[in-house]
A and B are shown apart, each in its own frame.
Chain A
Amino acid sequence: MKTRWRSVVVAVLAVAGVWLFAGSVPPAQAQAEIVLTVENNRFQPEEVKVKAGDPFVLVITNRDKAPEEFESHDLRIEKVIPAGKTVRVKVPALKPGVYRFVGEYHEQTAKGRIVAE
């Protein structure tokens, strides 16, 4: 009985592992790139417009000396951007609407929105 349980657990973990990695690697095909910069604990620009229904890539560069975390509850994205680094964030196709984001480490100043239309 114990071995059956063990094989069930192993199987579940294997499936979970595959699911976890699948899609984590960015796709090769070209997608629209939206450039964001973090500077002085603010996003630049603070509002970006994207086409609804098309996935895109946020290219976020942190020019500050401190790490920042791009966070959007609306998009379910959390992404740390170390000081001086650039991170590419894949964003799935969005329905028309406004999606807010903040820099979690400097929430008072670092905020912006993505407008999908």
Chain B
Amino acid sequence: MGATFIVTLREAFEASLILGIIYTYLQKIGARDGYRYVTWGGALGLLASLGMGIGVGYLSGPLLDWGPDVVGVGVIFAAVVLLTWHAWWMRQHAAAIRGQVQHRIDEARAAQSLWIVGLIAFTGVFREGAETVLFLWGIMAQAASTTGWEGLAGGVAGVATAAAIGWAIFHGGRRMSLSKFFSVTTVFIMLLAAGLFSTGIGRRQGMGLLPLGEPLWDSSSLLSDRTVLGSFLTGLVGYRARPSGSEVIGYVAYLITAAGVLWGRRSGRGGREPHTAVSVVGRPD
């Protein structure tokens, strides 16, 4: 039971964190009407995961060989773009709120197409969703014959625990002060996206599209990414015990670029559109 619990908890953890953060974010900016986009995005992500989990069993030949890979890597990079976008929007709101111009928030809200948070929810769920579906399906296939019922219970409990963590973030985050919530989640989202970006680069290396050199370092004796803690850190901040040079460069390059986009040249954009003008009003950090 323990093993299957850990697997599904690990797979569903990231999705539940992302959902928890987006719901809290919408609540914070007073856009409860946006909840439905997240709920729909998450539900569609779940449906797509089921579809992919079942569909992959019907694929064969070259389509089975590389189809899931293309989808998988595509979703990874899409998630990086969407998360970066979201962090950027949170910065805009944070500036608006610091500047005490409440009505600007409404303008900003109107300007951000809220369906984008739905897309984020979709990719968040879909990224590991198909794997989780296949895993649970596999346990069910074996449940009848062996001691699999216990494993199935563990697997379901893992997903439920992950969901509970997302829920806890939503509730805890509601009480957190607005500026604290924005800064904590912006940093968290950036690390998550940097980890995803370097994972995407790693997958391209695994496909032979980028050379896979020697690992830059080997910290697997210190913290292996096969351990529970290691695998959670892999999902959260992109920890690797034996990273390749390209993965580390990708990780750092993403962080520098994203930090430049989020914190750099803010006043340079001011005045062009109403919702960016508020960033001038906001005090610099």
Contact = CB atoms under 8 A, between A and B. Distances in A.
Interface of A: 1, 16, 19-26, 55, 65-69, 72-80, 82-83, 85, 87-95, 102, 104-105, 107-108
A74 B240 CA distance: 10
B205 A76 contact: yes
Given A23-B207, A73-B226, A76-B206, 7 more contacts: A73-B240, A77-B206, A80-B134, A82-B64, A87-B64, A92-B206, A105-B134
A23 B208 contact: yes
Interface stretch (B39-47, B118-126, B136-144, B182-190): B136-144
A76 B203 contact: yes
A61 B244 CA distance: 29
Contacts, number: 105
A22 B209 CA distance: 8
B70 A20 contact: yes
A74 B214 CA distance: 10
B113 interface: no
A21 B206 CA distance: 14
27 contacts: A20-B77, A21-B70, A23-B209, A24-B66, A24-B69, A24-B207, A26-B62, A26-B65, A67-B135, A73-B226, A82-B57, A82-B64, A83-B141, A85-B64, A87-B64, A88-B65, A90-B65, A90-B208, A92-B206, A92-B207, A92-B208, A94-B212, A102-B226, A104-B7, A104-B131, A105-B138, A107-B7
B77 A16 contact: yes
Contacts of B135: 67, 69, 104-105
A80 B134 CA distance: 9
Nearest to B133: A67
A23 B207 CA distance: 8
Given A65-B141, A73-B225, A92-B208, A26 B66 contact: yes
Nearest to B205: A76
A26 B209 CA distance: 12
Contacts of B214: 95
B218 to A, nearest CB: 11
A78 B203 contact: yes
Contacts of B74: 20
B3 A107 contact: yes
A73 B198 CA distance: 13
Contacts of A90: 65, 207-208
A93 to B, nearest CB: 8
